[in-house]
Structure 1
Amino acid sequence: MKKLVLYLADLVNPKDNADFNPKLPIARELVRHIMKKITFEILLLIYSNFLFSQSKVEKLILTKDSDTIYWNKYKNELITKYNFEDISSKKDEIVFKFWSFGTCIEITKNDTLINGNLTYFVDEVDEFSKKHFKKTFNLKGETAKEIINLIEKTEINKIPSDKFIKGWQHGFDGIEYIFEYKTKTEYSFKNYWSPNSHENLEKAKRIQKFVDEIYRICDSENLSKQFSKEIPFRSYSYNGGSMVVSKIMTQEEYRKYKKEKRKSKRQNK
């Protein structure tokens, strides 16, 4: 084989002192044709592997107990608005996402490596501008691991979305919780409206207990206070909600604030 390769190479690039052979031009053309064919087949193989890998991603199965009719659109709007990474683009073995009221908790697992983060996000409420602000807190490894253990222990992913649970009612007020869970082959999207308002339902109590526990593990109370101190807005809401939070200002602080806002508005024109 080695001799054949050397021979073919010599045909394509003969030595300067080689004796002329009238068959050489034909042989060289034949070698070039063979090399082009080999190159084409290699590229075709690479492209085929790419298509195969793409098809494997497309085979991700949505679980039958998921409900994407309304809240999936809402979640996608949050991703676009606050520049979150969509769970479908992640290559981790396991990805869990929890959404609620200006909060997103994400946990990823790859073999023994477990990571997580908690993100808060708000909208400015102001007559001059409509900005957004978010901050992500990386969770410690042991914290992320504790959440994974909580997911596995409670088997929370086995509880179907609330529309499949008999007796679960919906309303206009209250809190909506969204759970996303993705493996290499499956994806689930489930939502639960105000489980604390359904104390007569065992599954609702399990969901509420899980939510309370995940907030506790993340130390959400202290992190939310830290986030609130860093919010650069005088007034803000959680994703355009009806509840508006305003910081207390003295008259002098408020006049200065309004002056800066007017200046900012003129500069942005």
Structure 2
Amino acid sequence: MYQTKNINSHFAIILKHTSQSLMILLLISLFSCNKNVKNKMILSKDSDTVFWKRRVTEKNNKLIALKDIEESKGENFRFSTPNLIIDINSLKSHSIGKIIFFVQKMDDEQGLKMKQDIFKKEYNLTENQIKKIKLLIAQTKIKNLPSDKFIKGWNTNGNDGETYIFETKNDTLYTYKHYWSPDYQKRILEAQQVENFVNDLFKIIDIKKLETQFITNIPFKNYLMFY
């Protein structure tokens, strides 16, 4: 009787370790799949370097628990500013989209130290809004515009001002376009093109209404609008 219990005990231990090993292998497999998907993506020649992507986009995505665009299925368009992301995912049968507002908590005393607390709010885009945004993308040909460092006369030497980031992705091609302060650029047609696109995009989603709702509900005394 004692021997049977002992055998069962050993069997339970082996089964437990086997289950743990299988779980670890599954996690490694999932991680490898995501990594392989990223590795298969070709960065377009008119994209910015991965410097801004690693410094800003990947960091922010991790903080707000958002997948990098390369990990999603189908075709994607993603627009981002310091505390806002507009994401549209086009699948074979339908498209889905969302708007994400987010801020990071700063210390309550002087507002100088960042905390790990994040406040974010998501809003689903309506079918009509998605159609309008897709039409806007097509009509303005914004995807054809190169990143700001490739545009003659675009001043990229600055840390303040409004920065816009455009990402697109299909099965194999990935683009990452960075535009620093289009309103600061003088007599540059591409800068005006970006400004016009953003203004029309914000009208479609009624940015002022959503931003007011979001700011009203921020629970932090001091907060940072990310990069």
Name the TM tier (shorter chain): 0.7 to 0.9
Match of 1:107 among 71, 88, 96: 88
Aligned length: 189
Work out whether 1:189 is the aligned partner of 2:170.
no
Determine the C-alpha separation between the residues in 2 that align with 1:201 and 1:232. Answer: 40
Where 1:104 maps in the other structure, the secondary structure is strand
Work out whether 1:213 is the aligned partner of 2:200.
yes
Structure-2 residue corresponding to 1:11: none
Work out whether 1:76 is the aligned partner of 2:58.
yes
CA shift in 2, pair 1:217/1:55, >3 Å: same
- Which one has more relative contact order, counting CA pairs under 8 Å at least 6 apart? 2
RMSD: 2.3
Q: Map of 1:227-266 to 2, 5 A cutoff?
A: 227-239=214-226
Match of 1:136 among 103, 108, 122: 122
CA shift in 2, pair 1:216/1:199, >3 Å: farther
Identity value in percent: 36
Where 2:120 maps in the other structure, the secondary structure is strand
Query: Which blocks of at least 5 consecutive residues in structure 2 are unaligned?
Result: 1-31
For normalisation by structure 2, the TM-score amounts to 0.77
| CA drift at 1:56 | 7.5
Work out whether 1:167 is the aligned partner of 2:153.
yes
**Cα deviation per residue 1:125-181 (whole Å; 9 max; x = unaligned)?**
224782211111111011011111111111101000000001000212211111000
Q: Is contact 1:196–1:204 with CA below 8 Å preserved after alignment?
A: yes
Where 1:70 maps in the other structure, the secondary structure is helix
For normalisation by structure 1, the TM-score amounts to 0.65
- Letter paired with 1:126: D
Q: Is contact 2:88–2:97 with CA below 8 Å preserved after alignment?
A: yes
**Cα deviation per residue 1:89-134 (whole Å; 9 max; x = unaligned)?**
1011x10111102001101112351211100000112247822111
| CA drift at 1:55 | 6.8
- Letter paired with 1:156: I
Structure-2 residue corresponding to 1:126: 107
Structure-1 residue corresponding to 2:3: none
Larger radius of gyration: 1
Q: Is contact 1:199–1:205 with CA below 8 Å preserved after alignment?
A: no
Work out whether 1:86 is the aligned partner of 2:72.
no
Work out whether 1:151 is the aligned partner of 2:107.
no
CA shift in 2, pair 1:68/1:57, >3 Å: closer
Determine the C-alpha separation between the residues in 2 that align with 1:161 and 1:143. Answer: 26
Query: Which blocks of at least 5 consecutive residues in structure 1 are unaligned?
Result: 1-50, 242-269
Q: Which runs of 4+ in 1 moved over 6 A?
A: 54-57
Work out whether 1:62 is the aligned partner of 2:43.
yes
